[in-house]
Amino acid sequence: MGPEVILTFDDGPDPVQTPRILDTLQKHGIKAIFFVIGYKAQNHPEILQRIISEGHSVGNHTQNHSLFFAMLHSKKIAGEIDAFSQNIEPLVSEKITIFRPPIGYTNPKIARALKRRSMKIVAWSVRSYDSFKNRESLMSRLMKTRPSSIVLLHDNLEQTADILDEYITQSKAKGIIFANQENLKKFIHEINK
Ligand SMILES: [Zn+2]
């Protein structure tokens, strides 16, 4: 992995916040990975289209984002992964090989299902805890971003869309470089090796 920071956005698309986040990323020429939820992407195919057409990457965050995903039986785990692939891959016209489990927990059942499908988990190195609404503490956590980090954010949260521009602007001023499309493609290619 290069020095670039990769921003990842989970749990969208959201009809209000995702377009705001896409605007900010576009303004700064940054590309990110969106771990979308299958049913939400089906409800907002136009936002999914925008994510793809603006050069971002899409990851599998399961069809329904069950909070008990890691506790489901193997068959249901496989079903959640496959339903996403079947529903979303035709919309983005490509195979989606990267995965992030809901809540981030994995276990041998999930690992087996992913291995069988040649899919890889993308974890994170900076957790923003952006579900807490305090913008100041969110900013101070994010300002700890170091080169080569993978940052976990959520594109369904208003506070995340609110602070994104300031976070990127301040980080760039400190010399942080964010991923472009080529960096993302290379990153995804490498982890799938
Ligand atoms: Zn999630």
pLDDT of res. 145: 93
pLDDT of res. 191: 92
Residues with CB under 5 A from ligand 1 (ion): 10-11, 102
The amino acid occupying position 67 is L
Contact yes or no for 52/33 (Cβ under 8 A): no
CA of 7 to the centre of ligand 1 (A): 15
CA of 191 to the centre of ligand 1 (A): 21
State yes or no: is 23 an active-site residue: no
Split at pLDDT 50, 70, 90, the class of 180 is very high
Residue 154 predicted with pLDDT over 80: yes
Rounded to 10 deg, the angle between the 74-92 and 45-53 helix axes is 70
pTM above the 0.95 mark? yes
Helix, strand, or coil (residue 130): coil
Domains of the chain as residue ranges with CATH: 6-191 (3.20.20.370)
Q: Which of 44, 56, 65, 154 is the catalytic position?
A: 154
Residue 165 predicted with pLDDT over 90: yes
Q: Which of 10, 14, 130, 155 is the catalytic position?
A: 10
CA of 61 to the centre of ligand 1 (A): 7
State yes or no: is 154 an active-site residue: yes
CA of 106 to the centre of ligand 1 (A): 13
